Structure 1
Amino acid sequence: MRKLLQSAVVFLLLCIMMQSCGIEARLKHADKKYTIGEYYAAGKLYQSVYANASYQHRQMRAYAAFRQGECNRLDNDPRKAANAYYAAIRSKYGNDTVYLRNAQVMEQLGNYSAAINNYNAFLKSHPADLLAKSGVEGCQQAALEAKLHPKFEVQYAGEFNSRNSSDYCPVFMDTEGDALVFTSTRPGKTTRKPSAITGFLQGDLYISEKNVNNQWEKPRPMEGGFNTDLDEGAASFTQDGRTIYFTRCPVANGQNLGAQIYTATRSAGEWTEPQPITLFKDSTITVAHPAISAHGDTLYFVSDAPGGFGGKDIWMSILQNGKWGTPQNLGDQINTAGNEMFPYVAADGSLYFSSNGHAGLGGLDIYHAIKTANGWKVTHMPPPINSNADDFGITFKYNQQEGFFSSNRGNTKGYDHIWRFDKPVNAYVLTGTVTDNHRQRLGDALVRLIGNDGTNAKIRVKKDGTYRFSLSPNVEYVLLALCRGYLNQANRLSTEKVKESKNYSLNFTLIPIGKPVELENIFYDFGKWTLTKDSETALNALVKILKDNPNITIELDSHTDHVGTAEFNQTLSEKRAQSVVDYLIQAGISADRLTAKGFGFSQPVTVDAALAKKYPFLKEGAILNDAYINTLTPNQQNIANQINRRTEFRVIKTTYGLQ
């Protein structure tokens, strides 16, 4: 019995050892795949190790989980990466880089608060780390940029995209903008295996052209020696469309050899056989993502060559005597400890590229770089060009603010697709309403618009008193509202230095001629005629009316309530009217245009429709005299007295100074 028990124990130990040896072998195999960049294949192996390793091998499980997360992150699957990183953290993975990586995928998923927490966890032991600092800055920047007015409009470019494949890196073939070349992993005529790096089919170059109806035709594979059973894509063309540069990933003995840049030329509609170009003396250095300058003499590209700043950097080489010169790294204003990829040279010579090392919204973001005397000035492209997903491979139609880019936004399977963008012409629209002082709309009014660009337009308002004008940029305007029986009213507005579309609203309130107009918000000390500080706004508005209409004269009328003697109220009202006249004279209005009159309580208010609506206890047509006020409650009497206490003005003449 003892021998049987001993045999069972030995057998169990052997099984555990064999299982352990099998898992370790699988882990070594996964590490080898990871080292040569076959992330998809390596990720599957790490997942198997994590699932089969016992809890006694906690560190092995934690390492496998972390490496699985790395593979998922590098294969643009942030959700799976986040799950794997959390598994590594739960298994007490000993390298706190897991917090940095988890922060990056949280940012890519748009969970900025979780991303900041993970960045800060990493910064505790790495306070000077530039990637983590940029990550925190990017998360904070995301909230600010979300509030900005979009400078571009973005739409899904469905005519180029396939359903269960990736389509990316669009580029115009020439300055005409009638042919678009892009990379696609859709099934094609060539025999291609799924990439060990991504798990998708390897890329081919496709082209779509506009037909006579200006519509994009169905994409087709590029003709010539471009599409082989290797991975190809990320093309760039000279302005005349006769020379192409693109990336090809050669394989030898089933092993990925990195990437190389190939070129071909077109003559009489036929492309020559693509040939590799030499940039580094060491042929094992990977070079990819070419971007040729407008004149064809400068080539920007991506490489992880020694002497960079970490990850993948953007380099440049200048064509000299028919050969490409020694590559130059673009420096730390462009390159970071992260990855800088997919450069594109615009017609004006400025550079666009994608990075996950600069502060951004998550994943790869697109940046614009302008060469200055002090180096490169780099700016982040605002939403909706950038998102929390991967955004890259932008191209502009020649000398225009429209084009295409690629992104995996909104795609749960991680497929990249092509999106179009344009920068709409700024629109400046003015709308408003013309009413009288009782807010009744004047359907027979006119609005005149005069601009310092020569604009002189006149429009009749609609029956509901509304009007609408389309304005021009960088113009100073004067507007004048006119209506028979009313004073004109002028206003100004400007579209100068307004860089974005804007809707303006400008309403006019016209003053009737010969009818009393109440000056609202005129206040006096109790029982006195001294104007309070709170009256200045209304009085200054009256000053403006008089200055806008220099040919009118007005009468200032003051009224009191029924409290007090008739003699006292008469004197008080006369002095209050005179106080208003004195203010207007001090503001520069000629005294002979102004007349002051006091009426005491001799002209109580007659309730109109507006007052009856505002105070339902008042009956329309009722006169607010003693007899009527005495029928009201004490609180209602206070309101009626307040209505009777008023200062009004009437336009007496409209020909002052014209005789």
Structure 2
Amino acid sequence: MRYACYLFLFVVCSACTYTAKITDGTTAIERKQYHVAVPMLTKEFKKARSRSEKGKIALNLGHALRETGRDEEAVEWYQTAYDNNAGPDALREKAAALKRLERYEDAIQVYTDLGFEIGSKYEFRKDISGAELAIKWREEEKAGRERAFTVQPVDFNSNQADYAPVAFENRLVFTSDRAAATGEEKYNWTGRGFTDLFIVDPVNGRAADAFDVQVNTDNHDGTPAFSADGQEMIFTRCAAPGKREDAYCGLYRSERAGEGWAPAQILPFVKAGANYMHPALSTDGQRLYFSAKLEDGWGGYDIYVANRKADGTWEDPILMNRAINTQGNEQFPSLDGDTLYFASDGLEGMGGLDIYRTYPMANGRYSAPKNLRTPVNSGADDFAFIVVGREGMGAEEKTLGYFSSSRPGGSGSDDIYAFVQRILPPPPPDPTPIVYKNILDVTVVEKIYAEPGNPSSAVLGRKPVPNASIVARVGEQSRTVNTNDEGVLSLVLVDDQQYQFRAEREEYLVAEGSFSSRNLPQDPDAPEQRYELELELEKIFRNQEIVLNNIYYDFNESFIRDDAKPTLEALSAVLERNPDIRIELGSHTDCRGKPGYNQQLSQDRAQAAVTFLVEQGIDPSRLSARGYGEDQPIEQCLCERCSEEEHQRNRRTTFRILE
């Protein structure tokens, strides 16, 4: 099931535990109370009268079933949503669910149909190629290709989520939200408890016990790493700093205290407002690997490594390179000696998260990540791979370990699987001389809007922009090249360089991106590697309102909250890249309150946004503030009958590019 795998991947928001009474399925979805939403939405669908209403409810019901691990049912509801005018998003979700269920041929057909419908085969190329690869690997197995791995579920799985085991004193410590977890409150995403650490003896088959009262709290606790001597533990805890504030996941450290553990302290390099998770310690305890989503990352969640200083503290974490990190998500690192295992949804794989293996070669660089293939990987999420021991010698040696998966057929939403890996005979040597080559495909793309010409309409996908101008810079040297008809510029990378790219086209906002070729693989088993970088151009829509998402204000206040600053900082960066445009910042209120008061409040809020941009260095002559009060609602509902969702859509901050 997707929930537990992503529990430590995405922000765990305070809305997930919000205890106010939920009266409708849409509100339950907004607050991520998916378990609560399913029965509500099922009843609401039966009562719905219009096709449009049925489509919206069916789409939400598909989401709720997806997030509670019921993909077979979700597939049907996504199709129902599409049949009731829910649009391409419903088919996109259906295809993803089919892929998780390993119905690859069906998924390919849906993705192909989707490409035709939105007018861009580019958007789903990776989804299709991954499904084709999975089919190929499955056919090779049927043809008798030797399997390196045999896998089977462990007998201590529950009917809840069990995942991410690690070895500790001849036992396993794993993460679970099973009924014995600490606390009485339910996590309404799943209808189950919050996660805790549990310990089990997998050999003697004893029942799992709670790990330690100092570690297990009413928050989400899990994914630990232990020092070789068992005296130090670093683990993930997701907690809110205050009531009704967003909760973030951080890395916490605890020391052994007798038979138990001392109270945990957050690691000093963990920054507020960001997520850190999935620690893994090297055998000597001098390197800490983990996953985080930080500003300097390559996209999504990336793997970092921190080195321990002589005094026992940690240096600032280092972002691992593009041989490992992608524009997708990389997480759940683990170590077997110097071999690094990790999960990724950004590398080509079978669907969801797949497990990959890499290791440092003689030249000091990591090898090209290798997909462990089936039966370890599946169409669902596969992650948290660990090696716990070996048996035999030489060609008869077997590697033993565990991994986690949300594949169908398990006991719960996520399950732990044991594996045995045999050594397969090496392939015959290839006499062809090795020529190492790293190629970067830079693709310039633009959004496809549901309503062409309306930037406030839904985004259906992206399509390449042909013949766009790209300025490529390496150090002091620069070169301007146009993309081809497919919107692509391909170049052979020079080793150990930092590339900067700037994409331009008339009547589009400038887009920028970067790529580092530092320490890319030179792997004899995979001498040619291809990488991708997307530069997304935004078409200029003059005098059209564009909503700025994630800008909220405290009740009756106009100051810029911390959670709104990233959106305005991103807007500031756009203005810096495009010095010739002028914009109007607008603010709208909902219909509640007196018109005069709403007008002044909206003006103050718009001005606060302008002031923030000026403080970022934007010339004030390029900015204007305008409060619209309640005069231009998006939702045309009667005020006393508007839902909270409709009030929120009306209560928005916008900008428009002026002539």
**Which bin holds the TM-score, normalised by the shorter protein?**
0.5 to 0.7
- Structure 2 equivalent of residue 161 of structure 1: 157
Cα distance in 2, alignment partners of residues 304 and 44 from structure 1: 34
Paired residues for 1:484-563 under 5 Å: none
Q: CA deviation at 1:337?
A: 4.6
Amino acid at match of 1:165: Q
Paired residues for 1:17-416 under 5 Å: 26=24, 29-30=27-28, 32-34=30-32, 38-41=33-36, 50-55=45-50, 58=52, 60-94=53-87, 96-124=88-116, 125=118, 127=120, 132-146=124-138, 147=140, 148-158=145-155, 160-162=156-158, 164-173=159-168, 178-188=170-180, 190-209=182-201, 215-251=204-240, 252-253=242-243, 257-281=247-271, 283-320=272-309, 322-348=312-338, 350-371=339-360, 377-398=368-389, 401-411=399-409, 414-416=412-414
Q: Does the CA contact (< 8 Å) of 1:106 and 1:115 recur in 2? A: yes
Q: CA deviation at 1:89?
A: 1.3
Q: CA deviation at 1:153?
A: 1.5
Amino acid at match of 2:27: H
Cα distance in 1, alignment partners of residues 304 and 188 from structure 2: 27
- Cα deviation, 1:603-650, whole Å, max 9, x if unaligned, reads xxxxxxxxxxxxxxxxxxxxxxxxxxxxxxxxxxxxxxxxxxxxxxxx
Q: Does the CA contact (< 8 Å) of 2:29 and 2:64 recur in 1? A: no
Cα distance in 2, alignment partners of residues 126 and 142 from structure 1: 26
Cα distance in 2, alignment partners of residues 304 and 155 from structure 1: 32
**Matched residue count:** 392
- Cα deviation, 1:222-255, whole Å, max 9, x if unaligned, reads 1341122222211222222221122222255366
TM-score by length of 2: 0.53
Q: CA deviation at 1:39?
A: 4.3
**Unaligned 5+ runs, structure 2:** 1-21, 391-397, 430-659
- Cα deviation, 1:382-427, whole Å, max 9, x if unaligned, reads 221122333222110157721111223343775222211112366x
Bigger Cα Rg:
1
- Judged with a 3 Å threshold, the aligned counterparts in structure 2 of structure 1 residues 248 and 80 are, in CA distance, closer, same or farther, namely farther
Cα distance in 2, alignment partners of residues 224 and 27 from structure 1: 36
Q: Does the CA contact (< 8 Å) of 2:178 and 2:192 recur in 1? A: no
- Cα deviation, 1:232-285, whole Å, max 9, x if unaligned, reads 21122222222112222225536661322222122544321122224343x121
Q: CA deviation at 1:322?
A: 4.1
Cα distance in 2, alignment partners of residues 45 and 315 from structure 1: 42
Q: CA deviation at 1:25?
A: 8.8
Q: What secondary structure does 1:134 align onto?
A: helix
Q: CA RMSD in A?
A: 3.4
- Judged with a 3 Å threshold, the aligned counterparts in structure 2 of structure 1 residues 376 and 89 are, in CA distance, closer, same or farther, namely farther
Cα distance in 2, alignment partners of residues 258 and 39 from structure 1: 20
Q: Does the CA contact (< 8 Å) of 1:190 and 1:228 recur in 2? A: yes
Cα distance in 2, alignment partners of residues 105 and 121 from structure 1: 16
- Structure 2 equivalent of residue 528 of structure 1: none
- Judged with a 3 Å threshold, the aligned counterparts in structure 2 of structure 1 residues 358 and 70 are, in CA distance, closer, same or farther, namely farther
- Structure 2 equivalent of residue 609 of structure 1: none
Structure of greater relative contact order (alpha carbons < 8 Å, 6+ residues apart) = 2
TM-score by length of 1: 0.53
- Judged with a 3 Å threshold, the aligned counterparts in structure 2 of structure 1 residues 369 and 129 are, in CA distance, closer, same or farther, namely farther
Q: Does the CA contact (< 8 Å) of 1:352 and 1:368 recur in 2? A: yes
- Judged with a 3 Å threshold, the aligned counterparts in structure 2 of structure 1 residues 231 and 409 are, in CA distance, closer, same or farther, namely same
Q: CA deviation at 1:52?
A: 4.1
